[in-house]
Amino acid sequence: MSIKRLLEILWPVVVVATLVLATANIWFGELNQDEGWYLYSGRMVAEGQLPFIDFASTQGPIMAFVYAIAWPLVDAFGVLGGRIFTAVLGLLCTIGAAWLAYRMMVLNSEKQKETKEVAGVAALMTFVFIGINVYQSYFFVIVKTYALAGLLLVCSFLALSFCKGKRGYLPAFISGVFMSLAVATRLSAIAVIPAVLLVYIIYVLRGKGDASHLKTAVWVAAGALLTGLLVFLPFLIKAPEATLFGLVEYHAGREAGGLFKILAYKAGFVARLFNVYFVALGGLLVGGVVTWLTKKRGQAWSPLYMSLCVAIAAVTLLHFVAAFPYDDYQVMIFPLLAVFLSIFIIRLLSSFTVLTEGSKYSPLVVLLLIVFILNMAAAFASPMIQGWFIGDRDRIWWPFKEKSSLAILRETAAEIRKELGPNDLLLTQDIYLAVETGARVPYGLELGPFSYFPNWSREKADACHVLNRTSLIELLEKASAPVAAFSGYGFAIGCPEVAELPVQEQVVLWEILERNYELCYAVDSFGQAGTRLEVFLRK
C-alpha cells in the first residue's frame, strides 16, 4: 500500500474517531467546578463587566472575553453550549498542530520529491496523538483554559514557521502576539516566550544563524511585550490589588506540606502523565534511547524545531515545580509535544532507511499504522470510557449510571428554575448551576468554591472581589436569594490555601444558612466528584 493511499484511508477514520470521542466527552464527561465560573465570567463580560475590576479571576482576562462571544450559545444551551464551543477550539488546535507538523517537515525536507508524503504522515500522526486520546479529548471539550491556550500556542509557532525573507518580521511579531495572548489565557504559558527567544539568540551566538534569526527574536519579543502591556496594563492600573491577587497571589498561596508530600505529588504528576499519554511518552522515551545508543542525530535541528522542544520542556518544568502539579496542566502543551514527537520519530526513522522507497510497505506506512493502532488501543483501554457509564465501585458491584452528570445538572437546574424569576439570585458555590438556570450569584461568589478567604481583612477581600468570614456570614444572614443550593463543595474550602475548612467553622456556616432557608430536596451524585446537592427555599 502506498503512503498516499494510506493517508486517503486513514484521514477520514481519524477525523471521525476524534469527533466521536469529543461528542462522547461533551455529554458523558464529568462536570468540573471550573466550568461554572469560567462560563459565568464570560456572561459578566458580555454584560459589560470586567475581570479584576468588577469580579475576581485567577487567570488572565482573555478567557472571559473569548467566552463572552460564546455567551448566546451558553445562554441557550447552558454548560452544553460552553462545551460545544470549547470542543470547536480544541478541534481547531488539533488541526493547527497537524498543519504545523506539515510545515515543519516541508521546511526541513532536503528532497522535494519526498516532501508531501513525509509531511502528510507527520500531520496525520500529530492529529492521531491529539485527537485519539480520551484524556486529551475530555480536557479539550470541558470549559477550562486548555483548549484556548493550546490553540493560541499552536498559532504562535505556526506564525513562527512563516518567518522567512524580507517580510519575516511580520509573522515573528504575530507569533509574539499569540504567545502573550496564551499567557493572558493560562499564566504558565509565560515560559514559552523566554524559551523561544533564548533558542534564537543562542543559535545566532553559536554562529549557526544570521541577522534574520536575530531579527526574528527581536520581533517576537516586541509582539509579546506590546500585547502583554495592552492586555495587562489597564487592569494593573485600574485594579492593581485584584489583578496581582488573581495572577500571582492566589497561585502562590498554596503549599503542599512537608518534603514527603512534595515528593509524592511530583512522583504522582509523572506517573499520571505516563498513564494518560502512554503511547506518546513511551514513543518519546524509546526514540530518545535509540538516538542515544545509536548516536543517530538525523538532520540538523532548526531554531524553530529547537524552540519547540525547549518551550515544551520549560512549560513542563514550570508545571512540575508547582505546589500541586496536576497532570491536566499539560493538556495545553501536549499539541506541541505531538508535533515535536511526530517529526522526531520520522527523522529518526529516516536516519536508518529511505522513507519513500518503492516497496509495497514503506517504512512510513508501517510507522503510521503502528501509531494509529497503538493510539486506538490506548483509547479503548482508557478507564475514562468506563467512567462515562459506570459509577464508583460499591463493594463487589459496579453500578451503572442512569444519567450523565451533565444530564443531572440540566434536570436539577430545570427544577430550580421553577422557583426563580428573571435575574433572580441563586445562593450557591456551584456556579454551573447558576449558568444552567440563568440565575445570578451574589457578589463575591463568582469563583464558586474558591471564593472564600476566611482570614483576610474585609478591605482586602472587597478589593479582590471575594468573601472573608465576616462578609460571608453577612451574606448568609441577609438571605436575599429565594433559592440556595449547596453540594459537598459548599462551605468546605478555605483559600488561598485551598484547604478544607475546620469542621466547626463548616457547622457554624450551615447553621446560619438553615436559620434562613428550609431544605426542600436533595440530589445524590451531583456535579464534580458526585457529592450530595441540597436545595433550599428561603423561609
DSSP 340-391: HHHHHHHHHHHTTS-TT-SSSS-HHHHHHHHHHHHHHHHHHH-HHHHHHHB-
- Answer yes or no: are the C-beta atoms of 62 and 178 closer than 8 Å: no
Q: Are strands 426-428 and 517-526 parallel, antiparallel or unpaired?
A: unpaired
Model confidence at 125, pLDDT cuts 50, 70, 90, reads very high
Model confidence at 356, pLDDT cuts 50, 70, 90, reads low
What residues contact 118, with CB distance under 8 A and at least 6 apart? 105, 109, 346, 350, 355, 356, 364
Angle, CA 474 vertex, CA 471 and CA 476 arms, to 5°: 110
Quote the pLDDT of residue 392. Answer: 81
Mean pLDDT of 365-374: 93
pTM of the shown model: 0.95
- Answer yes or no: are the C-beta atoms of 320 and 327 closer than 8 Å: no
Mean pLDDT of 490-518: 94
495: exposed, middle or buried (Cβ count in 10 Å: 0-12, 13-18, 19+): buried
Quote the pLDDT of residue 484. Answer: 97
Mean pLDDT of 98-116: 79
Given a cut of 90, is residue 52 above it in pLDDT?
yes
Mean pLDDT of 186-210: 91
Spatial separation of the C-alpha atoms in residues 25 and 47, rounded to whole Å: 29
Q: Which of 79-83, 84-88, 495-499 has the lowest mean pLDDT?
A: 495-499
Read off the pLDDT of residues 319-353 as tens digits, 9 standing for 90 and up.
999 888 889 999 999 999 999 999 999 988 888 77
| Mean per-residue pLDDT over the chain, rounded | 92
Read off the pLDDT of residues 378-436 as tens digits, 9 standing for 90 and up.
999 999 999 999 888 888 888 889 899 999 999 999 999 999 988 899 999 999 999 99
Q: Which of 65-74, 259-268, 339-348 has the lowest mean pLDDT?
A: 259-268
